[in-house]
Structure 1
Amino acid sequence: MELYRLSREKFASTLSGKGAALKGARWTSIGVELIYTAGNRSLAMAEVAVHFTLATLPDDYMMMLIYVPDDIEAKEVSETDLPNNWKDFPHPASTQKFGDDFVSEKKYCLLKVPSVVTKGDFNFLINPNHKDFGRVEIIDVEKFPFDKRIFE
């Protein structure tokens, strides 16, 4: 499986959940490491773009192509498996607990969740503490210029 992640240039050479652990996010509390990726390039872009305006968009984003061997099983969840407020912003404690539990259980390396930003697409969350994480690798990194019309 190939997954995609947009990352600032200085962070695009390694896979780490440290950024999520610093601030927390939809699927993790502060202190919990998890790597957020997308099932396609467009979703990776949309997930980043919702946090910026044209004036605040950094110009050093890189698209990371991540390879996950097909035998690494993902836990798949549907909207009905999630807390009722899973789409809320700011991120509710209920979704953070959901992700925190996934990380601590260490049963799966991947968690496939529906995207809040793009209905019908999926994000894949990678647990860097899972035994199979060492088999996940970055296979390409390239400059990703945002089309400025997105922000008009």
Structure 2
Amino acid sequence: MLVYRITKAIYADRLVASGGAARWNERGQFVIYTAATRALACLENVVHRSGEGLQEIFRVMVIDIPDELRIDLLVTDTLPADWFDFRQYGTCQRIGGEWIRSGRSPVLKVPSAIISNEWNYLLNPAHPDFQRIGLIRTEPFVFDPRIKA
């Protein structure tokens, strides 16, 4: 399965996590966020960057998750009704943190908070099977100047 990550070109040559806090992890928990499609990866960038810095040089990272790798699924029905609200970050971070600490799988499929019925995939670099996940290629990416946050 291919997943996608759009990042500044200077970071696009390797699969690395910053350890910064985000929806599904607390600061110091290293997770790589990817999306099921290029379009969702684009929208995630626009939302999280608040439209700033989109004129810089970006690349699409095309990442292969081998079909035989275990992927845990976070079922939306098990989350609070307002899980996507910014005020629920703590709840989501606890859920993601538990997955990271458990070491159950190298990948967690999570719902997109931006688009219903779309999916993001979290990669755990500390999992032994992470080594089997590969950066296939990078592609140029330019945010359309009509995109405004």
Q: Calculate the TM-score normalised by the size of structure 1.
A: 0.91
Using the TM superposition, give the Cα deviation of residue 90 of structure 1 relative to its aligned residue in structure 2, in angstroms: 5.2
Using the TM superposition, give the Cα deviation of residue 45 of structure 1 relative to its aligned residue in structure 2, in angstroms: 0.3
What is the CA deviation profile of residues 41-75 of structure 1, one whole-angstrom value per residue up to 9, with x for unaligned ones?
10000000113355542421110000111000111
Equivalenced residue count is 149
Aligned amino acid, residue 110 of structure 1: V
Distance 2:103 2:3 in 1: 20
Distance 2:88 2:34 in 1: 17
Using the TM superposition, give the Cα deviation of residue 84 of structure 1 relative to its aligned residue in structure 2, in angstroms: 3.9
Q: Does 1:104 align with 2:101?
A: yes
Q: Which runs of 5+ in 2 are unaligned?
A: none
Q: Does 1:128 align with 2:94?
A: no
Pairwise mapping of residues 131-142 of structure 1 onto structure 2 (< 5 A)? 131-142=128-139
Using the TM superposition, give the Cα deviation of residue 80 of structure 1 relative to its aligned residue in structure 2, in angstroms: 1.2
The equivalent residue for 1:2 is 2
Pairwise mapping of residues 35-74 of structure 1 onto structure 2 (< 5 A)? 35-54=32-51, 56-74=53-71
RMSD of aligned residue pairs (Cα, Å)? 1.6
The equivalent residue for 1:13 is 13
Distance 1:56 1:144 in 2: 13
Aligned amino acid, residue 143 of structure 1: P
Distance 1:55 1:47 in 2: 13
Following superposition, which runs of at least 4 residues in structure 1 exceed 6 angstroms of deviation? Answer: none
Using the TM superposition, give the Cα deviation of residue 85 of structure 1 relative to its aligned residue in structure 2, in angstroms: 3.8
Aligned amino acid, residue 15 of structure 2: L
Q: Calculate the TM-score normalised by the size of structure 2.
A: 0.92
Secondary structure, in 3 states, of the residue corresponding to 2:56? coil
Q: Is the 8 A contact 2:32 2:124 kept in 1?
A: yes
Q: Which runs of 5+ in 1 are unaligned?
A: none
The equivalent residue for 1:75 is 72
Aligned amino acid, residue 28 of structure 1: N
Q: Is the 8 A contact 1:7 1:62 kept in 2?
A: yes
